[in-house]
Chains A and B, each alone.
Chain A
Amino acid sequence: MGLCGLAIVYASMGIGMVLLARVYAMIPLEQDSEFGDFDHALGMRYGASTFFFVMAAATIIIGYVALFSKKENTRKATSRLLAFLLQPWITFAVITIGVLWYLQLSNSDGDIAAFFASLQGIDVNTVVGQAHYEYIMRGTPYFEFMMVAAGLGLITPFAMYSNDMLLTVNDAFLIGKKRKILGPVERLHNQACQGLVGTAIACALFAAGSIAIGYFLGTGIDVLWPLFNLREYKVLVEVAPSILGSIGIFLAIASILHRIRPKQRFVRKMSWIAFIAELCIPIYGWFFALTLYKDLRLEKLENDQASSKI
């Protein structure tokens, strides 16, 4: 069922790409501008969305085989295959290619562009060569790649957890032949700690996003109205990041303490507060909070049982 959930998340992201493409197509697009080519809208609608739908289908099909195949070797092999697909390497690869294309377009006579253009026999130091290479780069799906990377980035926590669980179920591991396979409880504890770090990172990203939106508004570009009003830019630049940053730091400290001293009374209290803080972060916070809750509950049970033995 967890893998079904992941497939739903992928499929939802596919729908999200279609919606994003729809909104993109509604914005006046001036071809000369860096994101003004209408092909990007089509690329997102048909290309980026297809990628996520394929990932959803792959998760279901490979996951089904990995869980229900009668042959252990098949289960292990498909677990490793799916885990391989769910690792963030695709995100890194896609964002790297997308950004490289974009950098070459936005700075078509720069060093990066000059290097790659020379591989194609184009000299960007000439006016004609530069115009030609710009034209080639304009035709690359850099925006679609960036959007796919952003979508994958949003799914990463769920994909990583799923991957982890699948490998655990089949006693498999992605890289290497042998390593210590953690038990479910230890794995849950690790996930709870990772979740705290993940939420701390989410806080940092939200804080950065708040500053970016505030700065954006502060320059007078209020395309986010009515979500944010122009006059709120100082709150977004100064107040919201401070709060989010403080929560993030608290969660990071809680994560360290929860990992090394999970049973200490003070740490447990801190972890419960962290649990509440996590709940404040939509979707991701809830996702991680649930893991933390289960972990704290198991530890409580363990403590109780240890006390009763005494």
Chain B
Amino acid sequence: MEKTTNRRDIARVEPYKAFFLAMVIASSSFAGTFLYLAISEMTRPLIATSHYHFNIQFEGLDETSMNEIVNNSVIPLLQMYSRHPAWKANIEFQGLMLEWMNRLGNTTRKTNVTLPNNAGTLENQNGIDLLRYLVARGQIQLIVVQYSDALAIAYPYIDFFKSINYTRQLLRDLDIINATSTSGVSHVVLLQEGQFALGSSRLVADFQKPTGSPAYDTFLTTRETLSFYGVENRAGLYTYEIGGEQVYVLPYHPVPMLEGGAEHHLLWFFDGEYVNDGRGPTWTESGYIDYGDEAAYIGFNEEKQTNHERQLEDLEQMGDVFMTLDEWVAYMISHGDVQPLGKWVPETHWAIYRHHSSFVWMSDTRGNTPYDDNEILARCYETHQMLLATEVMLNYSRSLAAIDATTYRSLFSNMTRAWLNLALAEVSDSTGIKPSTFEGEDAIRNLNNAISNASYVRSFVINATPGLNDTINVMHGAIQILPSNLGTPNPLVVNGSAVNFTTTGVASIGDLGQVGIQTMNNDSFGITRMRVETAWDPTLNGTEYYSVLSNFPRTNTSAFTEKWSYITFTGDFSTIQYSPCFWENLSVQITRADYNADTPDSYNDWSADRYDNFEIYMPLPNGLIYSTNMHCAIVKNCTSTHLCAKWNTRDVRFMQTKTLSNLNPAGETWNFFVMLDVNISQAIAFANLVNTNAPLRVHEGI
């Protein structure tokens, strides 16, 4: 057939051919894309998990608030699940919630539960009974780890351990777990405000089920955290090994993801109260309701919960399978969607990018508490040292048979109460984003309770133990308590000391070699040369170090144009070693270049209203950060300065945006130790000696 070349002929057909072809392209592209998506959506299994986070300490220990959270939020949610026997969910809260629900007993909102298979009804179930029933029915699986929603990553492991240990006992006492069944509590760990630490692996060995399998071995974190630290291999579940323990890291994401060959999504992952809480003036189908102006108090907004219930009913009709997190982890393992994490992910807190991780608890950017975060954290740390030493003293006394078993148990329960007081004071809400006045005050009140409980035990033990009584009360001498295992045959040194920190002279910044120091808003600064002396630890004995003291007055006055304060240590910090949270005797080595770069900036590089870059903040619970290249250690004295460190290649900065210093009108004296030419083992030993397991000197009146 002859090819048409006449323009008129071509013009008659070509535009239509062009249109026709263009529409074929468009329609086939659209139809292909949407049909592919539709088919892939319909053919994949649909799986939902959830973790409703409840915090009964939302308003500290305000009883009205605690009651309302139980009655108007937790129980209505449980009621919703009781109406749908096929639904499963994880609910996360602290041990205190269980304790409080149990204490409320029959005063809570009541529920009539219709049993499956027309097996009748359970009448008038109170909150704790309803919870226990739903847990036993396999519908609700709890995530309960700590007693209080404490800022675990800021403090030594023993504080975390004590809190968990008590909670496990509480779970047994309330028959939520028992010798034969522990499935009511998930082995997945979720900590309030996005706290995540690979060092949580320490729980694997320390908390086990009766069968010997770990009670906790999986740790939840956000995809954002992994993305922030450059974990780019894609998996639904990751493994990591530290301290000889392998753990799973379970990332979650707010939008549906393809994981384990299924389409996985979350029914809920933030505050459970938001499912059904009524706050302030509200209009509902039945008309106007005022739930009250107080942010602290919440009512039950049935319409809100119905919205959630309808959504879940719809998903169920779509064939969605609701799994507990334990089931979901097992599903991913069985479907092979597990990969090694591949790199160290430093500890995080809050939404790492938006809220600058741990920096939120080291600052006072938007809050109105009279305390700055540093003084709350430092006081908590100081109380930790006191409690630890007191417990050592109690056990010492018992080992001498100075107190009988009954008295010991009684005193030990006092100590347990003290540790719980400390856990309550360490609650993450007392620092961080927008701490309120009452939250700081709550922390101080709980610390005073902890100290009071410990002081009672210490006095009792001193009076009951002949050697101690003679030394302190009769001869007015002193003893040194050594929580550190320094190899001493005895944890107490009577009328002497096993550890001395001796001042040997005055020094200047020039003496610190490659380490430089810069400060902002301090009114005094000094460096002294010191030496640690302990015959019991040859690796440390005679080690020289420098003590850096800088006083930061209150910056909440007009005299300060810049409210924030800092001390920066400069030098080669491109590769560092530090003790991960919960593993104070270990170290990990990381290189800044292995993480996304923090662009060069001034101090004001954090800003809530613009996109930011990759700043790494480190809690350093034993205070240590070690420069591998300079062979030097910076150790913060956590009882004076427990700010997090901002880590960059050429500097490590400790800072807070405002010094309020409510406890001491003269300001805060921040104390750091600089160790030159030491190895990492010496640095760790020293950091633990001055922070984690610091010796306590006891004399009459203390």
Contact = CB atoms under 8 A, between A and B. Distances in A.
Contact of B310 (A38, A283, A301): A38
Interface in A173-216: 183-185, 187-188, 191, 214-215
B29 A41 contact: no
B18 interface: yes
Interface residues of A, number: 77
B291 to A, nearest CB: 11
Interface string B83-104: 0000000000000000000000
Contact of A15 (B7, B25, B35, B253): B35
A89 interface: no
Interface in A12-71: 12-13, 15-16, 18-19, 22-23, 25-32, 36-38, 41-42
A137 B29 CA distance: 37
B612 A218 contact: yes
Interface in B215-271: 223-224, 227-228, 230, 232, 234, 253-256, 263, 265-270
Chain B interface: which size bin?
Answer: 35 or more
B14 A12 contact: no
A230 B34 contact: no
A280 to B, nearest CB: 15
Given A32-B274, A131-B288, 6 more contacts: A27-B254, A30-B304, A41-B314, A161-B23, A162-B23, A220-B228
15 contacts: A1-B24, A4-B27, A26-B256, A27-B254, A28-B270, A29-B311, A127-B281, A128-B281, A165-B15, A184-B16, A188-B14, A221-B224, A222-B353, A297-B14, A301-B10
Interface in B573-609: 596
B626 to A, nearest CB: 27
B84 to A, nearest CB: 16
A250 interface: no
A170 B518 CA distance: 81
A221 B694 CA distance: 41
B284 to A, nearest CB: 7
A230 B15 contact: no
B307 interface: yes
A263 interface: no
A291 B18 contact: yes
A116 to B, nearest CB: 16
A286 B48 CA distance: 39
A132 B255 contact: no
Interface string A209-245: 0000011011111110110011101000100000000
Contacts of B28: 8
A192 to B, nearest CB: 9
B268 A28 contact: yes
Given A218-B612, A287-B25, A298 B268 contact: no
A120 B610 CA distance: 40
B663 interface: no
A59 to B, nearest CB: 11
Nearest to B23: A5
Contacts of A84: none
B288 A132 contact: yes
A2 interface: yes
B327 interface: no
Given A9-B27, A283-B25, A26 B354 contact: no
A282 interface: yes
A6 interface: yes
Contacts of B35: 12, 15
A187 B18 CA distance: 12
B478 interface: no
Contacts of B274: 30, 32
Contacts of B354: 219-221
A229 B268 contact: no
A219 B608 CA distance: 8
B544 to A, nearest CB: 42
B14 A25 contact: no
Given A8-B27, A8-B31, A283-B30, A222 B227 contact: yes
Contact of A230 (B22, B27, B275, B353): B353
Interface in B189-208: none
Interface in B1-52: 5, 7, 10-12, 14-31, 33-35, 37-38, 41, 48
Contacts of A16: 34, 37
Contacts of A219: 353-354, 611-612
B525 interface: no
B254 A223 contact: yes
Contacts of B268: 28
B350 to A, nearest CB: 10
Interface in A249-308: 282-283, 286-288, 290-291, 293-295, 297-298, 301-302, 305
B265 A27 contact: yes
B15 A28 contact: no
A101 interface: no
A284 to B, nearest CB: 8
A102 B467 CA distance: 77
B285 to A, nearest CB: 9
Contacts of B26: 5, 9, 158, 283, 286-287
A185 B25 contact: no
Interface string B336-359: 000000000000000111100000
Given A27-B254, A135-B283, A291 B353 contact: no
A25 B282 contact: no
B315 interface: yes
Contact of A185 (B15, B20, B314): B15
A284 B310 CA distance: 39
A134 interface: yes
A294 B314 contact: no
A40 to B, nearest CB: 10
A286 B281 contact: no
Contact of A184 (B12, B29, B253, B612): B12
Contacts of B267: 28
Given A23-B255, A287-B22, A301-B10, A231 B15 contact: no
Nearest to A228: B227
Nearest to A33: B274
Contacts of B254: 27-28, 223
B29 A286 contact: yes
Contact of A12 (B31, B224, B281): B31
